[in-house]
Amino acid sequence: MALLSISEPGQSPKRSQAKKYALGIDLGTTNSLVASASADGPCVITDQDGAALLPSVVAYLGKDKPEPVLVGEPALKHAEHISSVKRLMGRGASDIKHKLSYTLVEPETGGMPLIETQAGLKSPVEVSAEILKVLAARGKSYLGKELGKEVDKECDGEIDGIVLTVPAYFDEAQRQATKDAARIAGLKVLRLLSEPTAAAVAYGLDKKLEGNVIIFDLGGGTFDVSLMRLEKGVFEVLATGGDTALGGDDFDRAIMRWVQEESKVEPKQEQIAELSSIAREAKHTLSNKDAVELNFSGWSGILSRENYYQLVDPLIELTLKACRRVLRDAAMKVDEITDVVMVGGSTRSPRVQEKVERFFQRPLLNELDPDQVVALGAAIQADILVGNKYDSDLLLLDVNPLSLGIETMGSLVEKIIPRNTTIPVSRAQEFTTFKDGQTVMSLHVLQGERELVEDCRSLAKFELRGIPPMVAGAAVIRVSFQVDADGLLSVAAEEKSSGVKSSIVVKPSFGLEEKEIESMIKASHREAEHDRDLRRLKENEVDALRIIEAIDSALAQDAELLDTSELKALQQSLSALQETLKSGDADLIQQHSEALNELSATFAARRMDSQIKSAFTGKTLDEVDR
């Protein structure tokens, strides 16, 4: 006989549940980390030498070598190593504006560039997967051995999933590429988590922060700024901004350009890695010294801290511009910010700290290691998502960075999910057909802030087929947009009377340039009035075309219902509207459309009477009642 579990009144019976094991991974441009969380709190997992940071560097040596692939410090010793691959994720070859130490090959089909290696052509996704494999192995080793024999038996060195962090301003292509890299590495992604949100989780739980918090995240290759409201375990992103091609690497490149200008030496491709290393060391030295001596290819020179500031201040100003935009988006002033959290290795720069502190007019929070805080927050979220209880209830409310919409007649963009909408989110809108008998609808998914298709970024196209042939405007097509917690988009369309459906998971071949993102937002403000006027013109043109098509169709069928003078007047008004369409004058088009509508009202009434008489002709009252 089975035992019945009972408990004290008002208490739930305790159930034994095997602990699940998850990891938080910060896949960085310069360095990457893995962390784990338990009831005692989160911790970063180190390698056998006690190092927490894994350089995001990969070297392919060829299949005939004992170790065909090297990752991290060992890879740095090889001249042909691949670094900063995060900047290539979800990008096209034309998006890469600077000289690299390795060769890119643009695929014939387009999309992300391939990298020439001794093991053949490799995609940025494959290279990122190698970094993730090493981090996962480090995590599995920790969970399987460091926690004791009992745990070793339970988890058998396996993990139930990971939370992988991405810059808040990564678009759909960049997020999807990151998720694909994890899948290639054999990892189950529980969630893609924005890096500033992960940092807020770690700081919020560690420091018990409350209020309006800025997360300023400047890493090796990406920059994010998020404004969050933290209140009683709820982490709500109010607005986000940034640049996925701005970071410490750009500080290094500013020094590299200075060396080139001063030395008059144009580095060969095989010298770029060496010059980059010299620049990085100089940057670190100038944090503590007033000047540094640089030596490259027989040239030597002195870079002062003052000159260095002149090189990097424009880059820091770009981060502050993004901060201003985020404040404006959230309709908030600087004095309403309660805390500023500094995240990312590049925030160690005294100049960055000085500028940010002056901008927000308050002391900065940087007590937690800026390199580790993102991975720690990801580990906390991973532990919760696999079902382990944590010592604090936690609700994360993130946002999508840019508006998502669909193309409508007249090359207009109908926004369905506006930017800075809390995700996950699902929104739907109903559309209809433009022509009589239309059985196919082409759907064009777009991203951006402007009113016209040509000013936004195309994400995907698909078709809804099998629409029952009806008169224009009779079909009802429901288009649904869904953005999941990872920020990935799926779109579905359904014709409601027949139930025919079509859908697509948006996987663009490469993502947006950050200059494009910034210009989209700026242009949406600058061109707002122009866009409104242009949209009104396009809408009036579409309405006019619909009226013209409807009247042409009616005349072809029932012109005999009009006498000669009525027919002539209607045809003249029709011709006038067709001519007015060429004028580009929204008011004039509307005026002629209304005139034609008014003139055709009598014709429409006669057609209806005629159709009713035709329907009743030869039928008895009983037949009509039936």
Three-state DSSP class for residue 261: helix
Rg (CA), the chain: 31
Q: What Cα–Cα distance (Å) separates residue 545 from each residue in 152, 435, 439, 576, 592?
A: 71, 10, 19, 13, 12
Distance CA 563, CA 372 (A): 84
Strand 395-399 relative to strand 234-243, pairing: parallel
Judge whether 487 and 174 are in contact, CB under 8 Å. no
Mark whether 47 is an active-site residue.
no
Q: How far apart are CA 272 and CA 205, in angstroms?
A: 42
SS3 127: helix
List Cβ neighbours of 238 (8 Å cut-off, separation of 6 or more): 212, 227, 228, 229, 329, 330, 332, 399, 420
Is residue 86 among the annotated active site residues? Answer: yes
At 572, is the secondary structure helix, strand, or coil? helix
Please say whether the beta carbons of 185 and 177 come within 8 A: no
* Cα separation, 347 vs 324, whole angstroms: 18
**Residue 241, CA distances (Å) to 93, 170, 219, 334, 624 in order:** 24, 10, 14, 16, 66
- State the catalytic residue, choosing from 180, 195, 249, 518: 195
The packing angle between helices 305-329 and 248-263, to 10°, is 140
Tell me how far CA of residue 208 lies from CA of 39, 60, 313, in angstroms.
17, 45, 33
Residue 578 token pair: 């067709």
Q: What is the rounded CA–CA span in Å between residue 157 and residue 359?
A: 47
- SS3 at position 210: coil
| Measured distance between the N- and C-terminal CA atoms of the chain, rounded to whole angstroms | 67
Structure-block tokens of residue 42: 């989160």
- Which of 92, 233, 162 minimizes the C-alpha distance to 486? 162
- In whole angstroms, give the CA distance from residue 360 to residue 355: 9
- From 130, 217, 449, 455, active-site residue: 217
Q: How far is CA 433 from CA 443, 452, 541, in A?
A: 12, 20, 16
Compute the Cα dihedral for 462, 468, 469, 471 and give only its sign: negative
Active site residue 281: no
Tally of CB atoms within 10 A around 116 = 15
Could you confirm whether 455 is annotated as catalytic?
A: no
- The answer to whether 443 touches 461, Cβ cutoff 8 Å, is yes
- Interhelix angle 248-263/269-285, rounded to 10 degrees, is 110
Query: What amino acid is encoded at 302 in this protein?
Result: I
CB 497 within 8 A of CB 509: no
Angle 23-168-58 from CA coordinates, rounded to 5°: 55
Length of the chain: 626
> Which residues are part of the catalytic machinery?
26, 86, 195, 217
